[in-house]
Amino acid sequence: MTRFISRAPVRRLTRLALLLGGLLAAGAAAADTPAEALIKQGEYVATAGDCVACHSAAGGKPFAGGLAIATPLGTIFSSNITPSKSHGIGDYSYAQFERAVRGGVRADGAHLYPAMPYTAYAGISDEDMHALYAYFMQGVAPVDQDAPRTALPFPFNIRLSMAAWNLLFLDKHPYKPAAAANAEVNRGAYLAETLTHCSTCHTPRNALMAEEKGSNLGGSSLGTWFAPNITSDAQSGIGAWQVDELAHYLKTGVAPGKAQAAGPMAEAIDHSLSHLSDADLHAIAVWLKQTPPVHDAQDTRAAHQWGEAATGVDALRGEARPANPDALSGPQLYDAYCASCHRPDGRGTPDGGLPPLLHNTALGRNNSDNLVMAILRGVQREPAAQAVNMPAFAPLLSDTQVTTLSNYLLTQFGNPQMQVTPERVAQLRAGGTPSPLLAVARYGMAAGGVIVLLLLLWGWRRRQR
């Protein structure tokens, strides 16, 4: 009690200091001219849209372009979108900039390839579009340097063919708030469906590579990593997550005791989502919780509700190991490579810094690719506070070992209905380095390619008749 009283004046002083600090900060914010405020807003929109992820090459200057994007149709290079008048978009008028970002047409009238996700950006509001323009013209440093030219093979080098694809896939209407939803849900929907575009990864695709609207956010493979079902369904999706857990996951990559973000999701969080305001992340989470549920009959409980703590690892310590490393058992592999961090019983550390493997979505889904990918590639994120790093085990473990280990983990800590095969491990190992929004680019291009080929085939058959 006495301690409490003696501390009171200190607290009051702290509060006063905070108040003064707040006033000063408010003063500084008020000093922003409308033009500066607009540029800041534009910077925020650019971060939410993750323009920098595609428009910067490794080690290159921000927005100077030149990133080589491998697509099914060939390599595409992103453009220099700094305000350089000679090499960038310094001469773009607002109307030209708007047409490029929302309509996929360059200033010279040529069509952009859908590796640039203009179909998602088509929904950007006029207000955000103006802010984005102000930022790129005045807030970005010009870089006088050419990005390499894209040269795709025939027929994909005919940029006009993308006009056909636009007819099918480009909805040119800016995002319209739903009258029935409140302001927060509408804000969440706007961010999720236009700028951050969760569905490009999380929605399954049809034969034309277009998103299946009926299973929006129902889960989709990105080739190696699997973007899980994030609809409001309680078993198959995130229906059993609290709004705050979702917002925390989007900000930091962790929902304690449930899930950690690795691979493309970790990159989306590092570059883009972790920089959004708490209010915006809350809005996305609230919106997510009211998306139409997509249920898979295989899912009898939520992905984070599987598994028991292990009891067997201690018993086998000191036991002789088989001479052939591929004959090591699941518990032996776990003991050798994982238990030091995830603990022999699989419960992780008490603070969750080293996460539990039971009640972990990576082991409870009806798709086990992310478990294998996490083992092969590890987990890397760079949140502001503390970097997260699980080593990659691809160089250490054979396909047989990864298979044995995964199947032990699924049975012990996860969904025992799932099994991993050495063939799948080999495929995932060979799958190349997946990249963040590059999944978006690849999908766009694959879809464009399918359409162009179908049109050619159609024209050819008509000529045959």
Distance separating alpha carbons of residues 290 and 217, to the nearest angstrom: 12
Q: Is 259 in the site for ligand HEC (CB under 6 A)?
A: yes
Q: Is 54 in the site for ligand HEC (CB under 6 A)?
A: yes
Distance separating alpha carbons of residues 170 and 117, to the nearest angstrom: 10
Q: Is 247 in the site for ligand HEC (CB under 6 A)?
A: no
Residue 229 sits at φ, ψ, to 5 deg, of: -60, 120
Q: Is 192 in the site for ligand HEC (CB under 6 A)?
A: yes
Span of 13-21, 244-252, 321-329, 420-428 interacting with ligand HEC by CB under 6 A: 244-252
Q: Which is nearer to ligand HEC, 164 or 354 (CB)?
A: 354
Residue 227: exposed, middle, or buried by beta-carbon count in 10 A (0-12, 13-18, 19+)?
buried
Q: Is 264 in the site for ligand HEC (CB under 6 A)?
A: yes
Span of 2-10, 179-187, 349-357, 419-427 interacting with ligand HEC by CB under 6 A: 349-357
Q: Which residues contact 77 (CB under 8 A, 6 or more apart)?
A: 65, 66, 67, 68, 69, 147, 148, 149, 150
Please state the separation of Cα 84 from the chain's center in Å.
30
Q: Which is nearer to ligand HEC, 151 or 208 (CB)?
A: 151
Q: Which of residues 15-44 bind ligand HEC (CB under 6 A)?
A: none
C-beta atoms surrounding 46 within 10 Å: 24
Q: Is 119 in the site for ligand HEC (CB under 6 A)?
A: no
Span of 33-41, 290-298, 320-328, 334-342 interacting with ligand HEC by CB under 6 A: 334-342
Residue 35: exposed, middle, or buried by beta-carbon count in 10 A (0-12, 13-18, 19+)?
exposed
Q: Is 281 in the site for ligand HEC (CB under 6 A)?
A: no
Question: By rule CB under 6 A, what count of residues binds ligand HEC?
Answer: 81
Q: Is 328 in the site for ligand HEC (CB under 6 A)?
A: no
Among candidate residues 436, 446, 445, the one with its CA nearest the CA of residue 49: 436
Length of the chain (residues): 465
Among 288, 410, 425, 446, binds ligand HEC (CB under 6 A): 288
Among 38, 64, 73, 81, binds ligand HEC (CB under 6 A): 81
Q: Which of residues 206-235 bind ligand HEC (CB under 6 A)?
A: 222, 225, 227-228, 230
Q: Which residue has the tokens 């050798």?
A: 336
Distance separating alpha carbons of residues 101 and 125, to the nearest angstrom: 12
Q: Is 112 in the site for ligand HEC (CB under 6 A)?
A: yes
Among 129, 372, 410, 437, binds ligand HEC (CB under 6 A): 437
Residue 243: exposed, middle, or buried by beta-carbon count in 10 A (0-12, 13-18, 19+)?
middle
Q: Which is nearer to ligand HEC, 348 or 458 (CB)?
A: 348
How large is the C-alpha radius of gyration of the chain?
Answer: 25
- For the window 363-402, what string marks contact with ligand HEC as x by the rule CB under 6 A? -------xx--xx---x--------x-xx-x---------
